[in-house]
Structure formats: structure tokens, C-alpha cells
Amino acid sequence: MKSKYLFLVLLIGTMGIWSSCNKKSQEYRINISGANNLNGKAYLVTVLDELVKVDSTDIKDGKGYFQGKLDDAVYYRILFKDQKVSYDVPIFVDADGQYDIVLKEDGVGNVNVIKGKSQSDYQKFEESVKSIQDSLDHIYSSMEEESDASVAMDKNLLGRIQTLTLEKEEKLREFIIGHSKEITGIVLTSELIYNDYPSLHPVYEKLDTVKYKDSYYMKTFLVKYHEAASRWLVGKEAPAFNTKDINGKPVALADFKGRKVLLDFWASWCKPCREKAKQLRGMRDELLRRGIVLVSVSLDDNDAAWKSASKEDDIDWVNTAEGKGFEDNDIAKMYKIKQIPTLFLIDEKGVVIMQNPSVEDLIKLPASN
């Protein structure tokens, strides 16, 4: 009886594999239209490690088309150039998709979906973030026009940019996770801006890394993800270091054993770092109540700039530097610093318990006895 049951299970499993490996190819068609004076050769390309031509067609008097067979949805780009204007039109093509592309005189190609879920989903996403992107474009445009750099870099504007960027990023992550088994989700991983481990890990957990293992976009995402994972030190012992503070006094991480340490990597030329220093100064008493010692590590390669910024920002806590920037700073290398400001909260046993904690994260910590 058991052998019969096992045979049925194996048979059903084999049928499932056979079915998935033998998807019936279906025909897609992409019609192209534009001004009557458009003539030339258009190319259908895919992205591997470089652009690879899949097909070509002649555009005559503004008309042409691509037609072919697919087993599954793919991401293509349509390239066309005439004497006056160039076109680069991205399109998600389903196996049975039908599309009309209208080439406008300003170099824009509008994709009208007759049939095709993937492109429709993508266009709905683009529409959902259009108002956010329009606001960002408006801010960037006004900053470019502003002659006074100090006004152009106004922190209120920078805060607005950050808020809008985070809002768009959250919508993008939601879309990718919701389409993690589809080509649209895989391709849009390339648009993720925040490449830290906490941002990328929820995406990684949902992606179909088997089906799309050969995709250029999957390969690129996995490189970013594994690099971010390698830089994530939470749960690991904090790398020990020895350096000197602003007065030339030796400082070692071991000096603070038995106390929590908030390690802050910064530099005088980094505006967000300077803002972070002011933030830390404002909450210093709250940190001390929680038994947290502040230790700053400057990545300045200019001693005078470091000391000047430290004085301006009233950094009177443990403030260290080696006179070396990103490339040569040994402490930065040990902590795998790729951007600043970067902060680590280290517990009494020397283990990293938070990486880039927010003010809210720190305030939530209980006060020391």
C-alpha cells in the first residue's frame, strides 16, 4: 500500500515538473506608429551583462512592428533613432501580449496595452508614484536654478527631499514584494535607492531567486544584497580598535567594557553628519541616563578641518581621528563603512546591538539603574 502511495506522489510531482518545463509558447505583437517622416531600423533588445539585440524591424513612414513567441513575460527595450530624435522605450512583454507604441516627436514612446498584465501593473505603479516624482523633480529644478548654494541646500528642502524619497521607496518596495515572483518585481529592484541590509532583506526573502537566477537584474540585486549583509554587524562582536582622541590621548574600545557605546562615524565635510552631531548633542543627557557613552570616529584626512568642525559643533565627548579618509582608515575598514553618518550601538559585552539606530530607537532604551 505504501509503495502505491509513493508511486502516486512521485507521478503527480513529475507531472507538475513536466508541465512547468513545457509551457506552451504564445505569440506577442508590438505595433509601432509615429510621424510619417519616421524611417529607419528599430531594435528589440534585452539586458544581459550588456544590451543584446533580440529582433529588428524597419520603420517605414512611421509604421512598424515586432512579433514573436515567448514562454513567459520578459523585459525588453525598443531602440530607434532617426536623423532628429532617439527613442528608448522600456516594455514588459507577456507571452500573449499585444501593445501599441506611439513614438512622439519629443523622443517619448507611449506604450498602450491592448493585452498584457505585466506592463499594465508597471504602468499602474508609475501612476501611483507620479505625484511624488513630480514634487521631487520640481524641487531639484528649483535647486538647480538657485544661484545661492546655501539656499539651494536649505535643510528644509533637504528634509522634504528625504521625506518624498522615503515615501516613493516604500511604495517601490511594496510593489516589488507584491510582484516578487514576476519579471516586473525583479527588474524594479534596480530602482531601489536604500541599499542597507534592513531595507533589502524583506525584498530578498520574497524574490524568486531560482526562476530568475540568470536575470541580469537578479544578479545585480544579489550582489547588492550580499554586500549589505556582509556590512551588517548586529549580533556580532564589535571590532576592537586603538586610536587617539582630539587631545592626543590614547583611546581603545576596550576602555568602555561594561558600558554601552554609541560609535559615530562622521567627517567635517559631511553635512548630514554635522546635523547628526547636533542631534546627538541635544540628546546627550538622555543617552547618559541610559548608560550610553558617545564615541565619534572622524574620517577626515585633514586634521585642521576635523578640529575646526569639532569646535563649531561643540563635540566635547570622546572624539577620535586617525587623519585618514575612507580608503585608508583602518577602523572604517573594520566596521565596513561605505557611507556616513553611520552609527553602531555596542552593548556592555562588546556586541553590536543596533546599526544606524534612530533617535526614537535610542530613546526607547530603558534608563540605567
Residue 22 binned pLDDT confidence (cut-offs 50, 70, 90): low
Q: Which of 23-27, 154-158, 195-199, 277-281 has the lowest mean pLDDT?
A: 154-158
Strands 352-355, 250-252: pairing is unpaired
Residue 159 binned pLDDT confidence (cut-offs 50, 70, 90): confident
Task: Look at residue 154 in the predicted model and tell me its pLDDT.
Answer: 66
Q: What is the pLDDT of residues 176-223, one digit of tens each?
A: 999 999 999 999 999 999 888 999 999 999 999 999 999 999 999 999
The H-or-E segment that residue 171 falls in is helix 155-178
Task: Look at residue 141 in the predicted model and tell me its pLDDT.
Answer: 86
Cell of 191: 530602482
Q: Which of 63-67, 348-352, 365-369 has the lowest mean pLDDT?
A: 365-369
How far is C-alpha 171 from the chain's CA centre? 13
C-alpha–C-alpha distance, residues 210 and 188, integer Å: 17
Residue 226 binned pLDDT confidence (cut-offs 50, 70, 90): very high
Query: Which residue has better confidence, 3 or 178?
Result: 178
Task: Look at residue 156 in the predicted model and tell me its pLDDT.
Answer: 74
Task: Look at residue 107 in the predicted model and tell me its pLDDT.
Answer: 85
C-alpha–C-alpha distance, residues 261 and 255, integer Å: 10
Is residue 138 over pLDDT 70?
A: yes
Query: Which residue has better confidence, 315 or 162?
Result: 315
Q: Which of 187-191, 322-326, 348-352 has the lowest mean pLDDT?
A: 322-326
Average pLDDT, the chain: 89
| Mean pLDDT computed over 227-232 | 93
Task: Look at residue 18 in the predicted model and tell me its pLDDT.
Answer: 45
Q: What is the pLDDT of residues 233-282, one digit of tens each?
A: 999 999 999 999 999 999 999 999 999 999 999 999 998 899 999 999 99
Query: Which residue has better confidence, 38 or 298?
Result: 298
Is residue 168 over pLDDT 80?
A: yes
Task: Look at residue 172 in the predicted model and tell me its pLDDT.
Answer: 97
C-alpha–C-alpha distance, residues 233 and 285, integer Å: 27
- Neighbour-count burial of 319, counting CB atoms closer than 10 A to its CB (0-12 exposed, 13-18 middle, 19+ buried): buried
Go through the chain and tell me how many residues it has: 369
| Mean pLDDT computed over 32-40 | 87
Give the CA dihedral 339, 217, 79, 173, nearest 10 degrees.
-70
Sort residue 87 into left (φ over 0), alpha (ψ -120 to 50) or beta.
beta
Task: Look at residue 153 in the predicted model and tell me its pLDDT.
Answer: 54
Task: Look at residue 369 in the predicted model and tell me its pLDDT.
Answer: 66
Q: Which of 4-18, 34-48, 281-295, 297-311 has the lowest mean pLDDT?
A: 4-18
The model's pTM: 0.78
Confirm if 179 and 189 have CB atoms less than 8 A apart. no
Cell of 280: 546627538
Return the residue matching grid coordinates 562622521.
Answer: 266
Cis previous bond, 341, omega within 30? yes
In the chain, count H helices and then E strands. Answer: 13, 15
Task: List CB contacts of 156: < 8 A, sequence separation 6 or more.
Answer: none
Task: Look at residue 274 in the predicted model and tell me its pLDDT.
Answer: 92
Is residue 26 over pLDDT 70?
A: yes
Q: What is the pLDDT of residues 45-82, one digit of tens each?
A: 999 888 999 999 999 999 999 999 999 999 999 999 88
Task: Look at residue 6 in the predicted model and tell me its pLDDT.
Answer: 47
Percentage of the chain beyond pLDDT 90 is: 75
The type of residue at 227 is: E
- Neighbour-count burial of 68, counting CB atoms closer than 10 A to its CB (0-12 exposed, 13-18 middle, 19+ buried): middle
